[in-house]
C-alpha cells in the first residue's frame, strides 16, 4: 500500500518539488551575488577610470557627491575644513618652503647680476611702471608652469575637459571639478550680495596658484606651479574666449547630455599658457622692445666708455711708470682724471728736459701740462749728462763713479772736443773731480810720441857762448826732423802746435850775462824750429826763465809743445 502511495505522491509532487528546489537554489545564488555587488561596482568604476571612460554610474555618483559635498559645506563648513586640514596642511607647508627656496634662489641670482644688462632692464621696468624693484625681480625670477587645466560647466560642475602637463600623475579630475564648484559656490553665496556675482577669481591651493576664467558656458581653471606673471590672467581669458568662439553653446549642450567622447581642450592650450611659448600683448611687447633697445644702447655706450677709460688708465699708468724712472725728474703730482689730458707736478733738472721730448714723441695725442720747478739732481745719469753737455761729449764718453767721487772721460773723440775737455776749468764740478786721462783723439799716440821726443831733446852750448857745443849738429838735425813729422801729422788731423823755447845757463858769470845768454840760446833754437812750422803753428821764447837754480851747471836750450785746433 505504501509503495503505491509513494508512487502517487511522487507523481503529484515531484514536479512542484523540483521547481521549488530550483527556485531555492536560484535564490541562494542571487543572495550570494547580491553580497558581491559592492565589489562588482568598485571593479567597474576602477576599470572605467583606468580606461578614461565616463559612465552613467560615475556621472550619477559625481552628481550625488557634488550635491552632498555642497550640502555639507553649506551646513557644516567647519567640519569640512577640519576634515581636509590634516591632508592639505603638510602640502601647504611643503609648498611654502619650496616657494621660499625658489624665491631665495631668484634673489641670489639677481644680486649676482646687479649690474648685468638684465638687472638694468628690470630697474628700468620698475621705474617705468612705478612697481618696486624687488617686486619686479620676484616676478621675473620666480618660475611657473601650468600643470593642470580644467574646463568645467558652471551650473552643474561637470567636467568638460582636463589636461595634465607631461610627466605628472593624473588627478581625479571629476572630484577636483566637483570640489572646486562647491567651494566656488560657497564663496559666491558667502561674499556676493545677490548670489550672482563673486566667486573665486584666483586663489592659492597648496603649492598651486589657482587662476579662473569665467565664461557663459564653461569655466576655465588653471593650476599653476609658482607665481604667474601679470599677463597670465589675460592669456587665460583669451584661451577661454577662443574655446567659446570655436564651440559656442555646444559646451553647455554637451555638458547636459554628458557626452564623454567630446574633447574640448587639449595639450596645446596648456602649453600656450606657459611663459616660454606665449608672447606678450602687442603694446606691452613694443614697450619691452623699446626698453630693451634703449638699455642695449646704454649698455653699448657704457661698454665703449668703460673700454676707453680702461685703455686710458693703462696708457696713463705706462706713461707714469716711464717718467717716474726718468733720471732728474721727481713727480709729486699726477692728474689723469680727464682722458687724453695730463697735469704733471714736480721737480725737473735741466738735463732731464728729454722727458718732455719723449712724451711728445710717444704720446703726441695727449695734452700734457708741466708744472715743474728746476733743481740740480745728483743722480749719476744726470751728472754724466751734465758733464757731457758742458764738454760737448756724448754720454758714453763720461763715466761717473759715485763711490770714488770722480768723473772720468774715456773713449776717442775728435781733437776739438778733446782739446775743449782737457782745458783747465772746462767744467766745474762741486761733488766730483774730473779725470780726462782716458780721453783720446785720432792719432794721439803718434803725436804724443813725437812731442815727447821733441821735449826731451836738449841742445847744449859752450860756456859763455850762444853756439851749440861740438857734435850737436846731428841732434839738432834729428830735432828738426821730428818737428817736421809732428807738423805733418797735425796737418792731416787739423791740429796746430805752439812751441816755446827755453834757455838755461850755469852759475858762472853775472846775472846780466847769464840772462843775455839764455835769451840768445832760446832765440837760436826758436829760429831753427820756425823754419819747420806752418801757420797757425808758432814758436815763442820763454821769458820766465830769469833765474838759475842753485848748483845748476846746465848750458842748454829745449822746446815745449802744446797742440791746439788749427781752426777755431
Query: Which neighbouring-strand residues pair with 410?
Result: 438
Q: What is the CATH number of the domain that holds 336?
A: 3.30.1340
Domain end among 374, 404, 423: 374
Q: What is the CATH number of the domain that holds 157?
A: 3.30.450.70
CB 464 within 8 A of CB 508: yes
Residue 191 domain flag? yes
pLDDT digits 0-9 by tens, 70-116: 777 677 766 666 665 555 555 565 666 666 666 666 555 555 555 56
Query: Alpha helices of 329-462 — where are they, by DSSP H?
Result: 354-362, 380-391, 415-421, 444-456
CA 170 to chain centre: 51
Query: Alpha helices of 339-414 — where are they, by DSSP H?
Result: 354-362, 380-391
Rounded mean pLDDT, 243-262? 63
Residue 137 sits in the same domain as residue 208: yes
Residue 427 domain flag? yes
Residue 105 sits in the same domain as residue 194: yes
Residue 432 sits in the same domain as residue 456: no
How high is the mean pLDDT of the chain? 77
Output the DSSP codes for 212-234.
EEE-SS-EEEEEEES---TTHHH
Alpha-carbon span 170 to 173, nearest angstrom: 8
Q: Check residue 168 and give its pLDDT.
A: 77
Neighbours of 157 (CB within 10 A): 24
Rounded mean pLDDT, 198-218? 75
Residue 419 sits in the same domain as residue 546: no
Using the 8-state DSSP alphabet, how is residue 536 labeled?
T
Q: Check residue 257 and give its pLDDT.
A: 53
Residue 296 sits in the same domain as residue 279: no
- H helix or E strand, kind and range, residue 516: helix 511-530
The lowest-confidence range among 87-96, 163-172, 303-312, 533-542 is 87-96
Residue whose C-alpha is closest to residue 179's, from 85, 68, 270: 68
Q: Check residue 194 and give its pLDDT.
A: 54
Residue 305 sits in the same domain as residue 273: no
95 or 444, which is more confident: 444
Report for 177-191, 261-275, 373-387, 407-421: range of highest mean pLDDT: 407-421
Residue 252 grid coordinates: 553647455
Domain end among 334, 351, 374: 374
Residue 252 sits in the same domain as residue 140: yes
Residue 280 sits in the same domain as residue 314: no
Residue 162 sits in the same domain as residue 194: yes
Q: Residue 552 pLDDT > 50, yes or no?
A: yes
Residue 294 sits in the same domain as residue 264: no
Alpha-carbon span 211 to 146, nearest angstrom: 10
355 or 276, which is more confident: 355
Domain end among 254, 286, 318: 286
Q: Residue 206 pLDDT > 70, yes or no?
A: no
Residue 48 domain flag? no
CB 161 within 8 A of CB 264: yes
Residue 436 sits in the same domain as residue 455: no
Alpha-carbon span 394 to 289, nearest angstrom: 69
Residue 466 sits in the same domain as residue 520: yes
Query: Which neighbouring-strand residues pair with 146?
Result: 224
For 253, the domain range is 86-286
CA 502 to chain centre: 84
Residue 29 domain flag? yes
Structural domain tally of the chain?
5
Rounded mean pLDDT, 297-318? 88
Residue whose C-alpha is closest to residue 188's, from 173, 179, 200, 180: 200
CA 551 to chain centre: 93
Q: Residue 69 pLDDT > 60, yes or no?
A: yes
Amino acid at each position: 500500500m505504501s509503495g503505491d502511495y509513494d508512487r502517487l505522491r511522487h507523481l503529484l509532487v515531484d514536479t512542484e518539488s523540483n521547481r521549488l528546489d530550483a527556485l531555492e537554489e536560484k535564490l541562494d545564488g542571487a543572495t550570494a551575488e547580491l553580497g558581491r555587488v559592492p565589489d562588482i561596482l568598485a571593479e567597474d568604476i576602477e576599470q572605467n577610470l583606468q580606461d578614461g571612460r565616463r559612465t552613467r554610474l560615475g556621472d550619477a555618483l559625481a552628481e550625488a557627491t557634488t550635491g552632498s559635498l555642497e550640502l555639507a559645506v553649506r551646513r557644516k563648513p567647519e567640519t569640512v575644513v577640519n576634515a581636509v586640514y590634516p591632508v592639505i596642511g603638510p602640502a601647504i607647508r611643503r609648498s611654502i618652503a619650496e616657494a621660499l627656496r625658489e624665491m631665495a634662489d631668484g634673489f641670489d641670482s639677481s644680486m649676482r647680476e646687479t649690474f648685468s644688462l638684465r638687472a638694468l632692464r628690470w630697474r628700468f621696468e620698475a621705474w617705468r611702471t612705478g612697481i618696486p624693484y624687488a617686486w619686479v625681480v620676484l616676478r621675473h625670477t620666480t618660475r611657473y608652469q601650468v600643470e593642470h587645466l580644467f574646463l568645467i560647466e558652471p551650473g552643474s560642475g561637470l567636467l568638460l575637459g582636463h589636461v595634465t602637463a607631461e610627466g605628472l600623475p593624473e588627478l581625479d579630475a571629476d572630484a577636483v571639478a566637483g570640489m572646486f564648484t562647491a567651494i566656488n559656490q560657497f564663496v559666491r553665496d558667502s561674499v556676493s550680495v545677490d548670489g550672482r556675482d563673486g566667486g573665486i577669481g584666483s586663489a592659492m591651493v597648496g603649492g598651486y596658484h589657482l587662476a579662473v576664467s569665467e565664461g557663459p558656458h564653461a569655466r576655465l581653471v588653471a593650476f599653476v606651479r609658482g607665481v604667474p606673471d601679470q599677463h597670465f590672467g589675460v592669456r587665460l581669458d583669451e584661451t577661454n574666449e577662443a574655446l567659446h568662439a570655436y564651440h559656442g553653446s555646444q559646451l553647455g549642450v554637451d555638458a547636459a547630455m554628458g557626452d564623454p567622447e567630446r574633447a574640448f581642450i587639449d595639450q596645446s592650450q596648456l602649453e600656450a599658457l606657459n611663459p616660454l611659448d606665449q608672447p606678450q600683448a602687442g603694446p606691452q611687447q613694443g614697450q619691452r622692445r623699446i626698453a630693451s633697445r634703449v638699455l642695449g644702447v646704454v649698455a653699448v655706450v657704457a661698454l665703449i666708455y668703460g673700454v676707453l677709460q680702461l685703455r686710458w688708465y693703462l696708457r696713463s699708468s705706462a706713461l707714469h711708470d716711464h717718467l717716474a724712472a726718468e733720471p732728474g725728474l721727481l713727480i709729486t703730482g699726477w692728474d689723469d682724471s680727464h682722458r687724453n689730458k695730463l697735469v704733471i707736478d714736480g721737480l725737473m733738472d735741466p738735463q732731464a728736459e728729454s722727458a718732455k721730448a719723449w712724451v711728445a714723441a710717444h704720446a703726441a695725442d695727449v695734452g700734457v701740462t708741466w708744472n715743474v720747478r728746476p733743481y740740480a739732481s745728483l743722480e749719476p745719469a744726470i751728472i754724466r749728462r751734465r758733464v757731457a753737455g758742458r764738454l760737448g761729449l756724448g754720454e758714453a764718453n763720461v763715466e761717473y763713479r759715485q763711490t770714488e767721487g770722480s768723473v772720468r772721460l774715456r773713449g776717442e773723440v775728435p781733437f776739438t772736443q778733446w782739446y775743449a775737455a782737457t782745458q783747465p776749468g772746462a767744467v766745474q764740478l762741486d761733488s766730483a773731480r774730473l779725470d780726462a786721462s782716458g780721453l783720446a783723439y785720432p792719432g794721439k799716440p803718434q803725436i804724443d810720441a813725437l812731442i815727447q821726443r821733441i821735449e826731451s831733446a836738449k841742445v847744449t852750448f859752450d860756456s859763455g857762448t850762444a853756439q851749440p857745443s861740438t857734435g850737436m849738429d846731428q841732434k839738432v838735425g834729428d830735432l828738426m826732423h821730428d818737428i817736421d813729422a809732428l807738423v805733418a801729422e797735425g796737418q792731416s788731423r787739423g791740429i796746430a802746435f805752439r812751441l816755446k823755447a827755453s834757455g838755461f845757463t850755469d852759475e858762472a858769470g853775472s846775472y846780466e850775462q847769464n840772462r843775455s845768454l839764455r835769451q840768445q840760446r832760446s832765440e837760436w833754437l826758436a829760429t831753427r824750429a820756425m823754419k819747420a812750422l806752418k801757420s797757425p803753428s808758432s814758436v815763442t821764447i820763454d821769458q820766465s826763465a830769469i833765474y838759475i837754480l842753485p848748483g845748476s851747471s846746465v848750458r842748454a836750450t829745449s822746446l815745449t809743445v802744446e797742440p791746439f785746433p788749427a781752426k777755431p
